[in-house]
Amino acid sequence: MEFRPKILSGGESRSDDQIMDAHRRQSPGAAMPGLPEGEDSPLVIMELLQRLRVKDVMRDHDIISVVRTDSMRFAQNLMKRNHISGVPVLEDRRLFGVVSVNDIITALEGGWIGEPCQKHMATSLVVLEEDMPLAFAIKFFQNYTFGRFPVLDKNRDFVGIVSQRDVMRVLMHELTNELARLEGKVAAPTRAQSVEKGDGALPYYSMRQFVVVHNDLSSAGKAANEIKRMMKDAGIDNKIVRRVAVAAYELEINICIHSVGGTITFIIDKDEASVIAKDRGPGIADVEWACQDGTSTANDWIRSMGFGAGMGLANSRRVADKFDITSKVPSGTTVMCTFKLKP
């Protein structure tokens, strides 16, 4: 039986942005997440949900499973013995389906409890991908009635299971640490700080997201400065740090002065760092023109603040190893600058 897991991903980050923007509007004094100034913002929770990955919370060992030829009775006994309400049907890390308590009850009622699982398991599955932000997993638990979700890697191989209890356990642990950090009781190891110096391995990749508010020039640049600090603390080469910081700064200023607002997302792993600037409009009609040196639509007020020289996109492209831009009028612009961390 050919099974293609139904992977729900992407497209939902916008709602996170909107939540963060809405919070920002309601609390104009609140700092952006992760910033050293005013770190007492409750936005740290939102930032935590974006920073943690599904693989940070999932169980990837001692997974109880059945194979397709096992009987429904076998699955029933397995679930009863281990006090669980569902088992994945697995063979060689490939996920074929899930047998749930409901399937067992139906089998008992229908008289096919002795038949193989492959005939009665659920095959239209909702699964999570291991690199999805934890916020996605939480939304899945809100949107579906399932108590747990199988987790697949990029090759669609089964890598673990995440339940609501798993999410709560890790989230409580991380929140406790975060609260302690905010209270100044412990040193603040960030994900980026766990990047080892030199050729050391990065245990997992790190992501931080910063909200950029339209025309709030007094705050513009905070995200870039924080990104610079994170990279310096992680022991990244100074020249690379500077290039990443310049791109982040230019893109942050661009969002601030040219868009209705957006986010700067910083992602780093052991090989690359990426800065993604995403705004919600009004979009750029002629992207090629906008990327040329000296082209600007900035007004006099912006110029009086030292910006609007029309160098933002050009500067970002100059310092990045890879530069991608997509824009649509009026929905917005996304710019991604990628930097290699090793020669």
Q: Which stretch binds other proteins (CB under 8 A): 153-161, 176-184, 310-318, 330-338?
A: 310-318
312 binds other proteins (CB under 8 A): yes
Please report the sign of the dihedral spanned by the C-alpha atoms of residue 278, residue 281, residue 287, residue 291: negative
220 binds other proteins (CB under 8 A): yes
Q: Which is nearer to other proteins, 130 or 226 (CB)?
A: 226
Please name which of 212, 328, 331 lies closest in space to residue 275, comparing C-alpha atoms.
212
Please name which of 323, 318, 342, 338 lies closest in space to residue 237, comparing C-alpha atoms.
342
Among 24, 120, 228, 278, binds other proteins (CB under 8 A): 228
- For other proteins (CB under 8 A), the number of binding residues is 26
Question: What contacts 278, CB < 8 A, 6 or more positions away?
Answer: 17, 262, 263, 265, 332, 333, 334, 335
Burial of 122 (0-12, 13-18, 19+ CB in 10 A): middle
315 binds other proteins (CB under 8 A): yes
How far is the CA of 280 from the CAs of 15, 51, 118, 264, in angstroms? 12, 22, 46, 12
The phi and psi torsions of 119 (rounded to 5 degrees) equal -85, -25
CA 133/CA 50 separation, integer angstroms: 5
38 binds other proteins (CB under 8 A): no
337 binds other proteins (CB under 8 A): no
Among 224, 234, 240, 277, binds other proteins (CB under 8 A): 224
339 binds other proteins (CB under 8 A): no
Site string for other proteins, 174-213 (x = CB under 8 A): ----------------------------------------
Contacting positions for other proteins (CB under 8 A) = 36-37, 217-218, 220-222, 224-225, 228, 238, 242, 245-246, 249-250, 253, 305-307, 309-312, 315, 318
